[in-house]
């Protein structure tokens, strides 16, 4: 029995000759940004697939098939699946792709029922939040939690001027937010929300973290 998707991450280039056209058909009338968000990856990645600039990984194919409710085999090869209970289709329904991982859909829906459709995966690029969030750790961000006025205390993905940061935010008083790093080497500072020059906007609240275990 042949496997419609090889165990290796990339599908054959011959199968991808018409892939952008099939992908465009799968996206349909949905916006590229909205479809990419539902798949769990960025619209930049989806545009690369649509333009033939990048080849989709196996988890990406599964995510696209699940989102568009189509066969993985048709998406990858252009051929129809005749088996009524195709294994690849079952996997596509079971897993949600959040680059570069696949999360079990049922688990995400159970753990984050209010934000399941609006989760974003981000990797820590510095050590400012260690030891809570180690460098290279992956964090899930609830992008619905973006109201600065509702902040009391939590860890957020934020934009400060032209920089994207993950920081602990704490409301103190008189519309002042304290920006803290769990790593003591980084200084704490405060921003007044009423000031037009604060340059602070929220992209979402961190609700989950995963990272490599360092054994000693």
Point out which residues pair with 97 in neighbouring strands. Answer: 102
DSSP string, 140-205: EEETT---GGG-SEEEEEEEETTEEEEEEEEE-STTEEEEE-SSTTSPPEEEETT-TT--EEEEEE
Instruction: Tell me the angle at which helices 87-94 and 58-68 cross, rounded to the nearest 10 degrees.
Output: 80
Higher pLDDT, 12 or 178: 178
**141-164 b/e (C-beta count within 10 Å ≥ 16 → b):** bbbebbebeebeeebbbbeeeeee
Give the sheet arrangement for strand 153-160, strand by strand: 119-123, 138-142, 200-210, 153-160, 163-171, 176-180, 189-192
Whole-model pTM: value is 0.57
Contact 117, 127 (CB under 8 A): no
The structural domains of the chain, with segments of one domain joined by +, span: 13-111, 118-210
Q: Do domains 13-111 and 118-210 have the same CATH topology?
A: no
CATH 1.10.540.10 fits 13-111, yes or no: no
pLDDT of res. 163: 86
Higher pLDDT, 173 or 87: 173
Q: Please state the CATH superfamily assignment of the domain spanning residues 118-210 in this structure.
A: Umud Fragment, subunit A (2.10.109.10)
For residue 197, what pLDDT band results from cuts at 50, 70 and 90? low
- For 71-119, how does the pLDDT look when each residue is reduced to its tens digit (9 = 90+)? 887 888 876 544 434 545 555 566 666 655 678 888 888 999 988 888 8
Q: Which of 33-37, 97-101, 120-124 has the lowest mean pLDDT?
A: 97-101
């Amino acid at each position: 029995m042949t496997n419609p998707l090889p165990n290796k991450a990339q599908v054959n280039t011959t199968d991808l000759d018409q892939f952008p056209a099939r992908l465009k058909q799968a996206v349909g009338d949905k916006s590229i940004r909205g479809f990419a968000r539902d798949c769990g990856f960025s619209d930049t990645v989806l545009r690369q697939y649509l333009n033939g600039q990048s080849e989709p990984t196996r988890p990406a194919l599964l995510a696209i098939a699940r989102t568009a409710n189509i066969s993985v085999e048709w998406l990858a090869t252009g051929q129809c699946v005749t088996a009524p209970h195709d294994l690849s289709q079952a996997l596509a329904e079971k897993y949600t792709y959040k680059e570069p991982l696949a999360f079990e859909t049922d688990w995400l829906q159970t753990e984050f029922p209010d934000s399941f459709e609006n989760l974003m995966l981000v990797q820590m690029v510095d050590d400012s939040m260690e030891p809570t969030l180690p460098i290279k750790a992956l964090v899930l961000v609830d992008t619905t939690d973006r109201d600065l006025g509702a902040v009391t205390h939590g860890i957020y993905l934020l934009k400060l001027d032209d920089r994207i940061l993950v920081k602990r935010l704490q409301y103190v008083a008189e519309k002042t937010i304290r920006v803290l790093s769990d790593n003591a080497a980084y200084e704490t500072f405060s921003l007044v929300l009423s000031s037009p020059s604060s340059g602070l906007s929220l992209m979402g609240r961190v609700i989950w973290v995963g990272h490599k275990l360092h054994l000693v």
